[in-house]
Amino acid sequence: MLFDSFKSRFRLNGMLTFTVRIRTSAEYSAFWEIMDDGAVKVDLAAVPEDGKANEELVRFLAKEFQVSRSAITIVSGETSRTKVVRVRKDGETASLLDIGDMF
């Protein structure tokens, strides 16, 4: 599968940060493609109102990476279609270096 490399890097490193470009109001949530700039295109079965699309993105990524929802962080772009997300293994906490990398 196209996104197996993302999952493999996650399992190896225990953390993965990547850019997603979302399309809302899709029939179902799914990975769509890796775009030329490296962003992952994701369809979401949610409307972009009242944080529903962000909630669906977190739910979908947690399911795909087999982690709890609390292991998914939207680092930037909460109100944008382009977001940077971070996935951590359950129980992992951000080190000071990780936090510095966010800014």
76: left (phi > 0), else alpha (psi -120 to 50), else beta?
A: beta
Domains and CATH numbers, the chain: 4-92 (3.30.1200.10)
Cβ neighbour number for residue 42 with a 10 Å cutoff: 26
pLDDT at position 91, please? 65
Instruction: Provide CB contacts within 8 A for 24, sequence distance 6+.
Output: 44, 46, 47, 48, 53, 81
Nearest 5°: phi and psi at 16? -150, 130
Whether the predicted pLDDT of 95 surpasses 50: no
pLDDT at position 93, please? 54
Q: What's the farthest any 2 CA atoms get from each other in the chain? A: 40
Positive/negative CA dihedral, 85, 13, 6, 56: negative
Q: 26-47: per-residue pLDDT in tens?
A: 999 999 999 999 999 999 999 9
